[in-house]
Amino acid sequence: HPSNDQMEGGSVLERANCRAKGGAPGFKVAILGAAGGIGQPLAMLMKMNPLVSVLHLYDVVNAPGVTADISHMDTGAVVRGFLGQPQLDAALTGMDLVIIPAGVPRKPGMTRDDLFKINAGIVRTLCEGITRSCPNAIVNLISNPVNSTVPIAAEVFKKAGTYDPKRLLGVTMLDVVRANTFVAEVLGLDPREVSVPVVGGHAGVTILPLLSQVKPPCSFTKEETEYLTKRIQDGGTEVVQAKAGAGSATLSMAYAAVKFADCCLRGLRGDAGIVECAYVASQGQIQGKPQKTEKVRNTLDHSFGWYAHVTELPFFASQVRLGRGGAEEIYQLGPLNEYERGPKQYKILVEQRIYHLINMTQTGLD
């Protein structure tokens, strides 16, 4: 019998490469941090995605093991593993989409901000690789604190002259997934029928579910609104506490990451009408328009102040339309109810701004 890698028509690897090169339809996707708690189920689910033709799995540990395991799945994508920084550029070359769950997770008692020092450095190194090897890829950034790792990635891309704000997306899909689940529970509906926009950011009070815009249309009592808002904002902490030192959300996160990545790939393919929430540069920055926030703030009332701040904040989680260029359009927040624009929620903006400034100052990138 011919050995596995010496079968007729070239080695198994050559034929896999040939299949990958030879126009098997689909996109090339890299996962950085693929051997981690999120990375492994994410890699498995992306291997099952028919839109993916090539899947690169990169990590600083155990990438060969995870790759060997995943590569036995009889789905279309060709899987290759890359271990350690010397292989980073090879892992990234030619990629259409790069998903980054690399970094340390929280333990009970920590905030996402406590992860900043370690994860900022990791994200920086990985994004430098992107500037060298796939500067046009869409980037889905999962590593926490998302509110600050996304601005860091932006600075790295700016430095290299490759920054396109439309292609850099912080993944906040888990907030939406949680919101859909918890709201469905309260309404007694199937979560698949429920859609809740979640805006702001991805940490504590910066996570703002817009319960006034839930589909299908519905209403909540004050108690329900307060319960749901708090449960959605504290969803990450709920999992961190339940795991009691063994990390943070990994399985629901992998599910959310794949749901979001699939939307990005369908957007890249040219599908119309794909709208999801993501943490992105604000519209003014995306369109390169000068910002008129001073004027807006002085002339409009408190509720409209929201809109002023959305454009004033450099990054904000909003509903975005995904297309061939990434986040091609950012939607306004839409009509907010009294609770959503009340002083308590207004604090979100202030916190988000302070958070960003502190963290950026620490990196010396800003």
In the three-class reduction of DSSP (H, G, I as helix; E, B as strand; rest coil), residue 231 is classed as helix
The item of ligand LMR, ligand NAD, none sharing an interface with residue 47, based on CB under 5 to 8 Å by kind, is none
Sequence-separated (6 or more) residues with CB below 8 Å from residue 227: 186
Task: Indicate if 302 belongs to the active site.
Answer: no
The item of ligand NAD, ligand LMR, none sharing an interface with residue 52, based on CB under 5 to 8 Å by kind, is none
Nearest CB to ligand LMR, comparing residues 144 and 352? 144
**Least distance to ligand NAD from the beta carbon of 191, Å?**
17
The item of ligand NAD, ligand LMR, none sharing an interface with residue 239, based on CB under 5 to 8 Å by kind, is ligand LMR
**Least distance to ligand LMR from the beta carbon of 171, Å?**
9
- 294/276 Cα distance (integer angstroms): 29
- 131/164 Cα distance (integer angstroms): 11
The item of ligand LMR, ligand NAD, none sharing an interface with residue 330, based on CB under 5 to 8 Å by kind, is none
Q: What is the 3-state secondary structure (H, E, C) of 236-269?
A: HHHHHHHHCCCCCCCHHHHHHHHHHHHHHHHHHH
Would you say how long the chain is, in residues? 366
Among 47, 106, 166, 356, binds ligand LMR (CB under 6 A): 106
The answer to whether residue 248 forms part of the interface with ligand NAD (CB under 6 A) is yes
Q: Report how far Cα 225 is from the mean position of its chain's Cα atoms.
A: 26
**Least distance to ligand LMR from the beta carbon of 209, Å?**
13
Tokens 């701040």 belong to which residue?
309
Nearest CB to ligand NAD, comparing residues 82 and 157? 82
In the three-class reduction of DSSP (H, G, I as helix; E, B as strand; rest coil), residue 337 is classed as coil
Per CB under 6 A, which of residues 115..134 are in contact with ligand NAD?
115, 119, 122, 125-126
Catalytic residue selected from 202, 302, 309, 356: 202
The answer to whether residue 267 forms part of the interface with ligand LMR (CB under 6 A) is no
In the three-class reduction of DSSP (H, G, I as helix; E, B as strand; rest coil), residue 73 is classed as coil
Among 91, 92, 130, 171, binds ligand NAD (CB under 6 A): 171
Looking at the chain, the number of H-run helices and the number of E-run strands are 15, 11
Q: Token pair for residue 40?
A: 């492994």
Among 120, 168, 174, 320, binds ligand LMR (CB under 6 A): 174
Tokens 């980037």 belong to which residue?
139
The answer to whether residue 240 forms part of the interface with ligand LMR (CB under 6 A) is yes
Nearest CB to ligand LMR, comparing residues 247 and 305? 247
Among 30, 35, 70, 169, binds ligand NAD (CB under 6 A): 35
- 188/192 Cα distance (integer angstroms): 12
* Phi, psi of 221, rounded to the nearest 5 degrees: -75, 170
Nearest CB to ligand LMR, comparing residues 174 and 258? 174
- 123/306 Cα distance (integer angstroms): 30
**Cβ proximity of 147 and 349 under 8 Å:** no
Picking from 315, 314, 317, 305, the residue whose alpha carbon sits closest to that of residue 347 is 305
Work out whether the CA dihedral 77, 80, 81, 86 comes out positive or negative: negative
Per CB under 6 A, which of residues 200..239 are in contact with ligand LMR?
235-236, 239
Nearest CB to ligand LMR, comparing residues 112 and 309? 112
189-213 burial, b at 16+ Cβ within 10 Å, e below that, comes to eebeebbbbbbbbbbbbbbbbbbbb
**Least distance to ligand NAD from the beta carbon of 100, Å?**
8
The item of ligand LMR, ligand NAD, none sharing an interface with residue 240, based on CB under 5 to 8 Å by kind, is ligand LMR
The residue of the chain with the least Cβ separation from ligand NAD equals 36
Q: What residues make contact with ligand NAD under the rule CB under 6 A? A: 32-33, 35-39, 59-61, 101-106, 115, 119, 122, 125-126, 142-144, 146, 171, 174, 202, 247-250, 253
The residues assigned a catalytic role are 202
Q: What residues make contact with ligand LMR under the rule CB under 6 A? A: 105-106, 112, 144, 174, 235-236, 239-240, 248-249
